[in-house]
Amino acid sequence: MSQLNAHSDGKIRAEKYQRREPQTELHWIQSLQGKYPREKGKFYQIFAPYASIISVGSERPQNLIRMNLNNRQPYHLSTELARARLRVHIGKQLRIDELIIEGLLWPVKCIVKLALSADWFFKADYYLTEPDFYIAHILTRASARTFRAVMFKLAKTLRFNRAKAESFYEKVSRAFDEKRALPLLLACKHGFTLEALKNYKTPLTRDLMKKLCRQRPILVMDYSELDTFEILSYYERVMDYGDIQQATDWLQTLFTRFDLTTLDENSWTVLMTMIHKFREEHHRDLCRDPEKKTLANLLVELLKIFLVVKEREDKLYGCLFAHLYLIEIDNWCWPLKNNQTKERDYLEKLFSCFSQYVLGDMISWSRLPGSTRIKLMRAFRNAAKSVNKHRSKYGPDSIDLGPFVELYDHVMRSMIDDDLEREINSKELRKLLPPETFMDYELKSAERPLERIPVCRLGLLLKHKRPSIWLNWTKYFEVCRNVLSSRSDCEIAWKKSRVAQFLKSIKWYYDLPIRYVEKCSDELLVPGSVEVLSYLVDGPTFQEIVTRHLFENEKPFGRLSQVHPQIFMAIAESMPRVESPVTLSFAIEFFSLCEKRSNMPNAFASLLYRWPMDQVKDNLPRLADSPKPVRMAFVEAALKVMPERCVIALFESAWMDTNDDDLRWKYGKLLIQYFKETRNMSFWKLLETCVRYLNVPRNEVYI
């Protein structure tokens, strides 16, 4: 490892890595000229061998350009990912179709995002923007993540060509399934959209329904034809208040299909009765149980709308605040749109409640546990987002910031005095407050000793105290590793997000990430090393380091999973985080040799979501020799992620590859559960076919 020296001028110089041949994405970044991100980012603008190509006009020699791109292998392009990034960048600038398509078929998010930014390629009048071409050359080969991104991209570009958008929707629905084509409805005519929604059997996601209703408010009325009061009264009688999933689904449907601001007094009486029954059923654990958190947030949204729309007295806002505080809800944002007076009153009363709690006698701020203060200030930050939206819409003088600034000043002093880490220093709060208010506390905070600098200051120090980070890089490394190795709770999860930002940022700083990677590689069995490694390297490098280290030990790979179960759990949890995903063959082999596989379905779902479909099919034969839990997890992940046609082909292949009745019975259960969720008749036919081959009574299958 190279040695860093601190010179009298305060600059840090490296004795190594000046011209090291880059073998990985990280080494490629380090090989670019410059020490800092801005200097390295100039690579695309000043790279000499391609300067003449980028400057060529519209009448460019296409064949010569493609030949140069394929044949030139300069030093800075010696990694596959680096070449792909530059190829897509040049394809975007010079409008080369095949380079954009090549970028869309990559499993790496940054490459796909760059390809999607080529707006000219997705325009309605472009000669390749035809459903048959997209289905044959892009959608059948792209990953599930890219498929979804392309659908939303087309929904934007086809808004002024409704006929082509409807043609895309129909052909994509037939080629894959309706669920994959739903985003295209944002670009279709109103009548076509309404008819498609009536024929679609599965409930829409809340986000998509919100976008549709925001775009076409009349859709809310067309989509629900029954009397609102009758619907609410019926559900109030038949609702199973102990069934969290049923209640959550119903409330989400209520929010997406009804304009709650127009409800009459009788309807609100029914809703308040339902909220009371929910609280009686679940009492104080409504938000302490993670499975109930979504339900609690939906109930709070109802309370906020009730208070705002019905203009209740001020003391009810205090009751709402106390209720949210006691059950640890952090969603305080304004629930309604386009009503300046009510929005201003709501926010001012809400900040007044904050001040009474934090500055007044209702609670003792200094005696609150650190985790409680974090939750409360996260809520304060979310409320600040609502204030910023209000000010950007109605002007900077539309709301009084006096209570807000007073509360922020008090909290910041408490934070610095007690050395607590806070989310209070967010961009939203910086927009609201005068620069001197924020900088005063930042300067005081930055003067602390290294050991007392909180995690939330890492990014700030990376910009303003670079020599300190380079000289004390081992201490910062230990901070990151200790935080990432901790088990998750509210406070630790927040710290992990800040450490992740720091690690992703240092990839573009000179030499520092190389040291971190080498340290992780040498101490891979130390808790936290695998997590740090996953943020710094690409998939192939992560895979190579893990495999080399584990196989070089004297004990067999499978035996190591028993001796170091926490390390294997960390590897499984880190797989979805690696920017360029590990190969499916590695994941299958890894989980086949592990003893504990609790995170296996999530890992497979992440990989299937990112890998192109044609590469997924190439790895299917490897499943035949893997253990039953691995095959089950793979099929379960495929049902969640892959398009209908691909799922059916995968399911048929997995079914025919085994004669084990127990495994086939588990496959059948998965298929039944999936059919209940989707109501897709294609899966019903597949299920009927599979049942004929099961050696169990027919009536037991459908219980």
Q: Which residues contact 685 (CB under 8 A, 6 or more apart)?
A: none
Residue at 551 is within a domain: yes
State which of 650, 675, 690 marks the end of a domain: 650
State which of 632, 650, 668 marks the end of a domain: 650
Same domain, 677 and 606: no
Give me the residues paired with residue 5 across strands. 13
The half-sphere exposure of 277 on its side-chain side, counting CA atoms within 13 A, is 17
State which of 625, 650, 675 marks the end of a domain: 650
DSSP symbol at 399: S
Same domain, 507 and 624: yes
Residue at 505 is within a domain: yes
State both tokens at 231: 């619907």
Tokens 């240092």, residue?
506
Q: Provide mean pLDDT across the span 677-694.
A: 72
Portion of the chain with pLDDT greater than 70, in percent: 57
Q: b/e string for 153-163 if b means 16 or more Cβ within 10 A?
A: bbbebbeebee
Comparing 86 with 40, the larger pLDDT belongs to 86
Domain count for the chain, please give it. Answer: 2
Residue at 693 is within a domain: yes
Tell me the C-alpha distance between 195 and 497, whole Å: 43
Same domain, 531 and 618: yes
Is residue 61's pLDDT more than 70? no
Same domain, 490 and 617: yes
Phi-psi region of 62 (alpha: psi -120 to 50; beta: other; left: phi over 0): alpha
Range in 22-31, 380-389, 437-446, 663-672 with the lowest mean pLDDT: 437-446
Tell me the C-alpha distance between 588 and 631, whole Å: 9
State both tokens at 497: 């997000």
pLDDT at 237: 72
Same domain, 598 and 671: no
Same domain, 495 and 523: yes
Range in 49-63, 98-112, 560-574, 577-591 with the lowest mean pLDDT: 49-63
Same domain, 584 and 517: yes
pLDDT at 547: 82
pLDDT at 415: 57
Task: Give residue 592's pLDDT band: very low, low, confident or very high (50, 70, 90).
Answer: confident
Task: Return the top range by mean pLDDT from 241-250, 406-415, 691-700.
Answer: 241-250
Is residue 95's pLDDT more than 80? yes
Same domain, 549 and 626: yes
Same domain, 609 and 674: no
Q: What angle do CA 292, 293, 299 make, to 5 degrees?
A: 90
Task: Give residue 116's pLDDT band: very low, low, confident or very high (50, 70, 90).
Answer: very high
Is residue 23's pLDDT more than 60? no
Q: Provide mean pLDDT across the span 632-642.
A: 78
User: pLDDT averaged over the chain?
Assistant: 70
Tell me the C-alpha distance between 297 and 331, whole Å: 7
Residue at 516 is within a domain: yes
Comparing 441 with 637, the larger pLDDT belongs to 637
What's the one-letter identity of residue 426? S
Q: Which residues contact 614 (CB under 8 A, 6 or more apart)?
A: 140, 141
Tokens 């650190």, residue?
370
Tell me the C-alpha distance between 247 and 512, whole Å: 50
Q: Which residues contact 208 (CB under 8 A, 6 or more apart)?
A: 182, 183
Same domain, 580 and 606: yes
Tell me the C-alpha distance between 24 and 17, whole Å: 13
Residue 36 phi, psi (nearest 5): -125, 165
Which pairs from 151-155 meet CB under 8 Å and 24+ separation? Answer: 151/180, 151/181, 151/182, 151/183, 151/184, 152/183, 152/186, 153/116, 153/122, 154/122, 154/129, 154/183, 154/184, 154/187, 155/183, 155/184, 155/185, 155/186, 155/187
Same domain, 687 and 596: no
Q: What is the DSSP string of 23-87?
A: -SHHHHHHHSSSSSHHHHTTHHHH-HHHHHHHT--SS--HHHHHHHHHH---GGG-SHHHHHHHH
Q: Provide mean pLDDT across the span 505-521.
A: 81
Comparing 112 with 577, the larger pLDDT belongs to 112
Is residue 172's pLDDT more than 80? yes
What tens digit of pLDDT does each residue of 316-365 get?
A: 555 555 555 544 454 555 555 556 676 777 777 777 776 666 666 555 66
pLDDT at 367: 66
Is residue 104's pLDDT more than 90? yes
Residue at 74 is within a domain: no
Is residue 432's pLDDT more than 60? no
Residue at 202 is within a domain: no
Is residue 512's pLDDT more than 50? yes
Residue at 50 is within a domain: no
Q: Where are the beta strands (DSSP E) in 397-494?
A: none
In 3D space, the residue among 616, 539, 508 whose CA is nearest the CA of residue 81 turns out to be: 539
State both tokens at 103: 């970028």
pLDDT at 337: 57
Same domain, 638 and 678: no
Q: Which residue blocks in 182-327 are alpha helix, DSSP H?
A: 190-199, 206-215, 218-223, 228-238, 244-257, 265-282, 293-309, 314-326
* Cα–Cα separations (whole angstroms), residue 226 to 197, 217, 239: 17, 17, 18
Task: Give residue 370's pLDDT band: very low, low, confident or very high (50, 70, 90).
Answer: low
Portion of the chain with pLDDT greater than 90, in percent: 9
pLDDT at 656: 74
| Range(s) of the domain holding residue 655 | 651-702
